[in-house]
Chain A
Amino acid sequence: MNLSPTKTKTYVKEALLDSRLRASVDKATQTSLAKRNDKKEQIPYWEELRYKAHSIKRDVMEHLDTYLETFEKNCVSNGIHVHWAANAKEARQIILNIAHEKHAKTIVKSKSLTTEELHLNDFLIENDLETLETDLGEYIVQLLGQIPSHLTAPALHLNRQDIGKVFHEKLGIDYTEDPNELLTIARNTLREKFLNADIGISGVNFAVAESGSVVVVENEANARLTVGVPKTHIAVMGIEKIIPNMDDLAVFLKLLGPSATGQKASVYVNIVGGPAFQKLKEGPEEMHIVLLDNGRSKMLADPELRETLFCIRCGACLNVCPIYQQIGGHAYGWVYMGPIGITLIPQYLGEKEGKYSPYLSSLCGACYEICPVRINIPHHLLKLRNNVVEKGYSMKIEKIGMDIWAFLARHPKLYRFATWFPGKFQMLLPKGQSFPAPGYTGERALGKFDKKGFRKRFLEMKKNK
């Protein structure tokens, strides 16, 4: 699936015309949102916890170098191999080298957006490694050759018929659209793979500096099987995933479950501090952690935009976004989607490629209101729009327009004169018609320009008194 955020405008148009997609996304987001609100209501200290989580992340980002060094030191003493990757290419090569060293043939993967950032699956498959996504949603989108359309519900854009069809076509089974049967098929196919895979690759929800452990949160037990069964476990994480200690983990786990899937607690929290074989004589004999920068240290340099690194990828901002609710994730054209996606796209890919993304928002602020770590997304979008303009990627004509506006707005007489025109021009239109505004009108009428305007009316009113 070759998506690009430069084509966002086209994708949005297409998505809006796709009634099947819209029905799936609408139903899924509304369900998640209702469940989230219900669980949140049961946690009376929710708002305070959001502040606390924000302050923990704030501290982490201000001392990220120290925390990473502590984390590395503790991992090493737990018997974990730590690798540093400055970019996607380095990370891919590190993982491939481990696979070669282990003479691996089959790799099972549990959900990791960071590895989507690396286009890791395609790369490993090109290198003759059987690489299978094991989260049901991820498995479905992998069969379709797509990328996830949601941070926590990868196949949210599909309905059961879509899924039945791809299982029938790709797995050669009789068509069924029964969710139970579809799951059983996936479970049986993948169980076999889990038990025989050479390597398990997982993402990381939290990396606990003080203990040298990574935390993988999930519901399906596929991550448990990924990190606990194959002989080698590779955990891939962005450098921002650090939290200081286990007390902090309790804070984030409380927030994550309701925000992500509307659960008070996710089914499995896997806290892994070293290869299990050291303790259990089963599962991984070797454990590797890949610490990925890939643009994150650059994001950290901005004293405000660094807040976007606080994201715990729960997807709540997607579910609540009146735009995402109607178009789903692929329309955003990249691995990260929705409100948080459009703050990340220009930061990761640059303002040129991401010039349309920060504008795909009405700035309504529902994302900030719901964010469990209080990322002020609308605020950051405003800053990112300014960056697009400053770097010269806004439309020339718009810039000229803004320059003229700025001049007029400082010269009230000229401003009044300029704004007097539409009102006059409107009188020439057929009765009842409103002024046409390019792009705006069509499905909705523009308001009518008043012949006099407030100022004149007000002054007249005063005079008559």
Chain B
Amino acid sequence: MKVALFIPCLSEHLYPESAISMVKVLEHIGAEIEYVNDQTCCGQPAFNSGYRKQVVPVAERFIKLFQGKEYVVSPSGSCVTMVRKFYNELDINPELHSARDELSSKIFEFTEFLIKVVNMDKVDGTFSHKVTYHDSCHALRELGIKEQPRKLLKSIKGIDFIEMEKSDTCCGFGGTFSYKYADMSISMVARKCKYIDESGADYVTSTDSSCLMNIDGYLRKHNMKARAIHIADILAQSMNL
């Protein structure tokens, strides 16, 4: 099984370790990993801000770059949503429509890939910590990822998995929303972190580095106990990869 990596901007520049963890897990289950060298951005920040015209050539380039790959896997539900769902909203060159549609059926968020494609039903590892899961909005509502990551987490030996209150409430990141309405965004992450704190978890995990950056930034600044960790990191660490 050949897997091409799609590494979103935040993973490339801020959280490369988590992407490396993902690679390790994928290699561990026998995937042949390929890094598509000239990848840049999927275009989501510009798209979400309303700059569709600017996104079109970037999206077209992305489609061509990943054309013909067996699978494309990414450590971000949000960026996968951009490619799988929102590329349909763009005025993409009709010649690329079939490639776009094909890509949308080949691109997967990491945990979704493990469960849906690899049929992984348990993780053979140990992670002796109290962990709670934050549902990233795009992963949950656009891709329908809810049970998959929970199933994987709960199967890890030693893990104390707990649900926080309102795990499916937005953390307030929302891309450019986080600085356009910064006060609002902070107020939302404050509430999220209150629920995390109340759950008593050592770690809050999720499918998306963007939410985790937002959450971790608040937790640290306010000296709260929990730390944010990408789900790929938990999986890799639990298996000593």
- A, B from the same assembly: yes
Given A443-B186, A443-B221, A446-B217: A363 touches B48 (CB 8 Å cut-off):
yes
Bound Cα distance from A139 to B175, whole angstroms: 40
| Contact (Cβ within 8 A) B172 A322 | yes
Count of A-B contacts judged by CB separation below 8 Å: 196
| Contact (Cβ within 8 A) B20 A457 | yes
Q: Return chain B residues, CB-CB under 8 Å to A13.
A: 183
Q: Return chain A residues, CB-CB under 8 Å to B17.
A: 450
Q: Mark A242-280, 1 if CB is under 8 A from B, else 0.
A: 000000000000000000000000000000000000000
Q: Return chain A residues, CB-CB under 8 Å to B53.
A: 390
Q: Which of A362, A394, A422, A461 has the most CB of B within 10 A?
A: A362
Bound Cα distance from A322 to B185, whole angstroms: 10
Q: Return chain A residues, CB-CB under 8 Å to B137.
A: 362-366
CB contact between A360 and one of B140, B184, B187, B213 (< 8 Å): that residue = B184
Taking CB as reference atom, which chain B residue is nearest A423?
B13
* Main SS at interface, chain B: helix
Residue B41 lies at the interface, judged by CB distance under 8 Å to chain A: yes
| Contact (Cβ within 8 A) A403 B7 | no
Q: Return chain A residues, CB-CB under 8 Å to B45.
A: 405
Given A442-B182, A444-B221: A362 touches B177 (CB 8 Å cut-off):
yes
| Contact (Cβ within 8 A) A326 B221 | no
| Contact (Cβ within 8 A) B178 A440 | yes
| B22 CB, min distance to chain A CBs, angstroms | 10
Given A365-B141, A439-B179: A458 touches B50 (CB 8 Å cut-off):
no
Residue B153 lies at the interface, judged by CB distance under 8 Å to chain A: no
Q: Return chain B residues, CB-CB under 8 Å to A383.
A: 89
Q: Mark A369-405, 1 if CB is under 8 A from B, else 0.
A: 1000000000100111111111000100011001101
Chosen A-B contacts, 18 in total, with CB atoms closer than 8 Å, are A16-B187, A327-B184, A359-B180, A362-B137, A362-B170, A362-B174, A364-B170, A382-B50, A394-B51, A402-B54, A403-B54, A406-B58, A437-B179, A440-B182, A442-B186, A449-B13, A450-B16, A454-B7
Q: Taking beta carbons and an 8 Å cutoff, which residues of B are in contact with A? A: 5, 7, 9-17, 19-20, 23, 35, 37-41, 43, 45-55, 57-58, 61, 86, 89, 137-138, 140-142, 168-170, 172-191, 209, 213-214, 216-218, 220-222
Q: Taking beta carbons and an 8 Å cutoff, which residues of A are in contact with B? A: 9, 12-13, 16, 322-323, 326-327, 358-366, 368-369, 379, 382-390, 394, 398-399, 402-403, 405-406, 408-410, 412, 415, 419, 422-423, 434, 437-450, 452-455, 457-459, 461
